[in-house]
Amino acid sequence: MSTTLPNTEPLPSQLDPTPEGAAWLRLLAWLTGIIAAVEAIFLGMIATLVPPLVAGIVLTIVGLVVLRRARRVGIVILGITSLLLLIGSAPFAASHLGHPESAVDFTHAVVGTVGRLLAVIAAVGAWRKASPTGARRLAVAAVGIVCLTVAASSIAMLVSTGDDARADDVTTVIADSYFADTIAVASGDTLYVDNTDLFRHTFTVVDTDIDVELPAAVGVRVPIDLPAGAYDVICDIPGHEHMTAILEVE
C-alpha cells in the first residue's frame, strides 16, 4: 500500500540563495567591479575628478558591500547606477567608438558601454533569479568583446601612424589636453599639430572646412588656406570644451 506524502518541502528553485541567483550575482559583481576599476584608472590618467564617474565608483563600492547583507538592495543600487551611467556616458562613448586607433578612449568607451549594458541585464537576471545558463553566456560574451576590442584597437593603431613633420611646417603641440593659447601662421602654411596626449582630439577651426581628427599620440599636417584673420579653434569631442585656441593667420 502506497501513501502520498504532502509536499511541504520547498522546491530546490525556491531555496535562498538559489544557484541561479548566485550566478547572476557573481556576474553583476564582477562587471560593476571591473568597470569601477577601469573608471578609476581613467580618472587617474586624465588627472581630473569627473563628478558622475566619481559618483559611479562610490555607488558601485556601496552596492557591492550592500550586496552581501541585503541582496535585493545591492542589486537595485548596482543596476540603477549602471543604467544611469550607461545613458549619461552615451554621447561621450558615441564619439569614441568609431576610433579604435585611439586605444585609451576606445577601450574606455567599449568597456563602459558594453559592460554597463551587460551589468543592467545581470541585475535583472539576479533580481529574477534567472537560469544560470544565461549568466554564463553573458560572461563568455563579455570576455569575447574585450578580446575583439584589444585586437581591433591594436590593428588600428598599427595602421594609423599619422604624418611626419616637414622642415617648413609650423608646429603646434597639444599636451595635457590643452592647445597653445595662440597659434600664428601665414596663409598657405602647413600647420603640424602634434598630439602628445594618449587621448584623441580634433583640430577644428570654427566656421571653416578645417576639422581634423588627431588620433592619440600622433601628429597631423593641416594646410591652412584661410584669409588673414583671427579664428577660433576648438576640439569638438564631448567633454573637451575647455580646449580652445586662437589661430592667427597673417
Q: What residues make contact with Cu ion under the rule CB under 5 A? A: 201, 235, 237, 240, 243
CA angle 99-165-231, nearest 5°? Answer: 70
Question: Which of 109, 237 has the CB closer to Cu ion?
Answer: 237
Question: Which of 99, 201 has the CB closer to Cu ion?
Answer: 201
Whole-number minimum distance, CB 16 to Cu ion, in Å? 50
Whole-number minimum distance, CB 138 to Cu ion, in Å? 34
Whole-number minimum distance, CB 62 to Cu ion, in Å? 32
Whole-number minimum distance, CB 242 to Cu ion, in Å? 9
Q: Which residues pair with residue 213 across a beta bridge? A: 202
The Cα–Cα gap between 212 and 248 comes to 18
Query: Which amino acid, one-letter code, is at 168?
Result: D
Question: What secondary structure letter does DSSP report for 147?
Answer: H
Element (H, E) at 42: helix 19-46
Within 10 angstroms of residue 125's Cβ, the number of other Cβ atoms is 23
Whole-number minimum distance, CB 240 to Cu ion, in Å? 3
Question: Which of 192, 199 has the CB closer to Cu ion?
Answer: 199
Question: Which of 96, 129 has the CB closer to Cu ion?
Answer: 96
Question: Which of 67, 247 has the CB closer to Cu ion?
Answer: 247
CA angle 183-166-99, nearest 5°? Answer: 70
